[in-house]
């Protein structure tokens, strides 16, 4: 009877998972992931504006966002390289903990600098901080996949991670502004730095797979030795593939580094525009680092499947240049070969789902404030209440509900439901764009308007209408976000989790950036109503893709004889 209760899905599963040590650390690491992002790419601009730093100079700081968009470029390093002196911390902690301590030190140091007279040091530290933040994100995502087990499940860890992340966005964003207005910006950033230093210290005691005496290291060494065994691809074939992929990745890294150097070293009137860079070069970087390497990986997997270009007998262990080539191949090419070989042509479906699932809120976020403040003419205080305080609370509630649904409905059902809800909430904004009569009537009918009217100073029926809409949207975003991160984590291999997850998540981020220009033009030409109808249709495409992926996983489970294919990430 006790075993039956333990296996019963629902809030009991969620609460038991919440009591796990890994879950507590996941919340801490999610907070550590979200706080620097909010401080470097949001709140920092408020500090610079208050310090009267000109907008042209502030534009330089926007380039630090590229660290997050292109973090997959150095993900192979995090996946396979051990840091001398830190490797005893654990496979992922050797990257996470130093990054968190470095971030804390950078924030404290920023609090000691004057952003006007010491702008050079200020921008350099902010750039290093963004790089360290993106690096810890790669390691944290891999850690989540590595440590998931039957008690602290991947679904619950993914949900808790986002809760911590969203809470950090509130602390670093809205609360950061409030605190700064009372104690000053330097003191606020020193406080945030102390928080990260504390998390980094606590992170020393987090569970992790050990480096040097664990099965993963043995498996890694076995991968290297296996490359020279009979039935594997011939070394010269692998070498050609490695050179091709290596040149493409090196070119992409070179383009990004050149852009950053030009942005920092050139006079303001000669600096490249970060938005134009992302729009013009972003797609080609994706083609060079994802699309073409995926095609090469598919060709390599096909060669093994067809028995072409394979070793007829074991080759001697590699040494010198051959040894280096094998290690580089394992770090850069093998993660793609494993993923493409395991997924096959279903990769097209998965990429389509990755590109469309979060596109609505990824693109829309840029235009939220112009819509609220310009089109609907709400005040800053009203928007802050609806979107920052009430909205973040609604997202966290949605994440909790998403975690519950994952245990009750399963991963794919929750993913599909989240996509449907996220798509339909765009119609709520479409109603706001033409006056919001329906949303006002719904808010009045359930007593929500009366509740918001009790808010001092700013409470009004108009605010109730906006907050009611934001609440439903953010609940849907929370459910969809919990399911999406859990699904994305489940389709990557533990052996290559850092590279594979970073590649897929970067696609999610970049597609939103690339679509904003076209959406902005559509808003100018046709207005917000038509845009919300369009984003609803895009969201419905994602629903159809979710159903197709659901069917694919069910078929794969039947073929392999697995009853519940959602149970764990691929090995």
- In this prediction, residue 6 carries a pLDDT of 42
CB of 498 closer than 8 Å to CB of 146: no
Cα first-last separation, the chain: 32
CA-to-CA distance for 353 and 347, rounded, in angstroms? 10
pLDDT bracket for residue 265 (50, 70, 90): low
CB of 447 closer than 8 Å to CB of 379: no
pLDDT in tens, 437-479: 999 999 999 999 999 999 888 989 999 999 999 999 999 999 9
Computed over every residue of the chain, the mean pLDDT equals 83
pLDDT in tens, 366-400: 677 778 888 888 887 888 888 888 888 899 999 99
Query: Which DSSP letter does residue 82 get?
Result: P
pLDDT in tens, 277-336: 767 787 788 788 888 988 998 898 888 888 888 887 877 777 777 777 888 888 888 888
Q: What is the CA radius of gyration of the chain?
A: 24
Q: What is the CATH number of domain 13-213?
A: 1.20.1250.20
The reply to whether domains 13-213 and 345-571 share a CATH topology is: yes
pLDDT in tens, 421-447: 999 999 999 999 999 999 999 999 999
For residues 263-278, average pLDDT:
70
- In this prediction, residue 216 carries a pLDDT of 54
Query: Which DSSP letter does residue 89 get?
Result: G
- In this prediction, residue 132 carries a pLDDT of 93
Query: Which DSSP letter does residue 180 get?
Result: H
pLDDT in tens, 399-418: 999 988 998 899 999 999 99
Comparison of pLDDT for 2 and 101, the residue scoring more: 101
Domain boundaries, the chain: 13-213, 215-342, 345-571
**Of 52-56, 251-255, 432-436, the least confident:** 52-56
Comparison of pLDDT for 96 and 175, the residue scoring more: 96
- In this prediction, residue 213 carries a pLDDT of 47
Q: How far is CA 563 from CA 5, 44, 128, in A?
A: 20, 50, 47
For residues 171-195, average pLDDT:
90
Q: Is the pLDDT of residue 55 over 60?
A: no
Nearest 5°: the CA angle 518, 67, 143 is 115
CB of 457 closer than 8 Å to CB of 382: no
Q: How far is CA 470 from CA 387, 473, 497, 539, in A?
A: 7, 5, 34, 17
- Two tokens, residue 15: 């609460």
CA-to-CA distance for 505 and 510, rounded, in angstroms? 9
Comparison of pLDDT for 456 and 566, the residue scoring more: 456
Q: Is the pLDDT of residue 125 over 70?
A: yes
Domain 345-571 has CATH 1.20.1250.20: yes
- In this prediction, residue 281 carries a pLDDT of 80
- Two tokens, residue 509: 């981020």
Comparison of pLDDT for 152 and 195, the residue scoring more: 195
pLDDT bracket for residue 57 (50, 70, 90): low
pLDDT in tens, 126-173: 888 988 999 999 999 999 998 888 888 888 899 999 999 989 988 988
Q: What SS3 state is found at 159?
A: helix
Q: Is the pLDDT of residue 8 over 60?
A: no
- In this prediction, residue 571 carries a pLDDT of 47
pLDDT in tens, 206-222: 988 776 544 555 556 67
Comparison of pLDDT for 362 and 338, the residue scoring more: 338
**Of 65-69, 251-255, 288-292, the least confident:** 65-69
pLDDT bracket for residue 17 (50, 70, 90): low
């Amino acid at each position: 009877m006790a075993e039956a209760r333990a296996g019963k899905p629902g809030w009991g599963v969620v609460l038991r998972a919440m009591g796990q040590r890994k879950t507590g650390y996941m919340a801490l690491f999610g907070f550590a992931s979200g706080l620097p992002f909010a401080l470097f790419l949001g709140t920092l601009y408020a500090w610079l504006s208050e310090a009267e730093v000109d907008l042209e100079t502030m534009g330089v700081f926007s380039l630090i966002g590229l660290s997050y968009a292109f973090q997959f470029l150095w993900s192979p390093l995090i996946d396979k390289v051990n840091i001398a002196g830190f490797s005893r911390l654990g496979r992922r902690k050797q990257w996470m903990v130093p990054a968190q301590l470095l971030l804390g030190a950078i924030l404290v140091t920023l609090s000691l600098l004057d952003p006007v007279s010491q702008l050079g040091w200020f921008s350099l530290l902010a750039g290093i901080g963004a790089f360290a933040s993106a690096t810890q994100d790669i390691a944290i995502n891999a850690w989540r996949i590595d440590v998931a087990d039957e008690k602290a499940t991947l679904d619950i860890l993914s949900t808790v991670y986002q809760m911590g992340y969203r809470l950090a966005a509130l602390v670093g964003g809205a609360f950061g502004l409030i605190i700064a207005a009372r104690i000053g910006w330097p003191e606020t950033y020193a406080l945030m730095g102390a928080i990260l230093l504390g998390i980094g210290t606590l992170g020393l005691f987090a569970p992790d797979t050990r480096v040097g005496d664990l099965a993963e290291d043995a498996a890694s060494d076995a991968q290297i030795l296996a490359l020279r065994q009979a039935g594997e691809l011939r070394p010269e074939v692998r070498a050609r593939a490695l050179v091709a992929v290596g040149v493409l990745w090196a070119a992409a890294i070179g383009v990004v580094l050149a852009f950053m150097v030009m942005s920092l070293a050139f006079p303001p009137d000669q600096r490249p525009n970060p938005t134009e860079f992302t729009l013009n070069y972003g797609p080609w970087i994706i083609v060079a680092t994802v699309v073409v390497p995926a095609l090469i990986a598919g060709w390599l997997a096909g060669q093994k499947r067809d028995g072409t270009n394979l070793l007829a007998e074991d080759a001697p262990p590699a040494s010198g240049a051959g040894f280096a080539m094998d290690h580089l191949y394992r770090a850069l090419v093998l993660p793609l070969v494993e993923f493409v070989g395991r997924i096959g042509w279903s990769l097209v479906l998965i990429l389509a789902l990755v590109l469309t699932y979060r596109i609505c809120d990824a693109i829309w976020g840029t235009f939220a404030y112009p819509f609220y403040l310009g089109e609907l003419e709400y005040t800053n205080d009203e928007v802050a209440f609806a979107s920052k305080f009430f909205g973040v609370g609604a997202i966290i509630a949605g994440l909790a509900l998403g975690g519950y649904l994952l245990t009750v409905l399963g991963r794919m059902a929750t993913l599909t439901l989240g996509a449907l809800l996220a798509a339909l909430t765009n119609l709520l904004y479409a109603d706001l764009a033409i006056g919001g009569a329906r949303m006002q009537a719904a808010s009045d009918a359930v007593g929500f308007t009366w509740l918001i009217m009790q808010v001092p100073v700013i409470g009004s029926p108009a605010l109730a209408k906006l907050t009611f809409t934001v609440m439903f949207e953010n609940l849907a975003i929370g459910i969809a976000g919990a399911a999406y991160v859990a699904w994305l984590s489940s389709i990557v291999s533990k052996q290559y989790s850092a590279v594979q997850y970073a590649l897929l998540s970067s696609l999610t981020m970049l597609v939103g950036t690339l679509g904003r220009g076209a959406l902005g033009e559509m808003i100018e030409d046709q207005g917000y109503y038509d845009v919300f109808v369009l984003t609803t249709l895009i969201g419905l495409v994602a629903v159809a893709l979710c159903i197709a992926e659901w069917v694919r996983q069910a078929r794969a489970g039947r073929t392999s004889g697995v009853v519940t294919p959602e149970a764990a990430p691929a090995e």
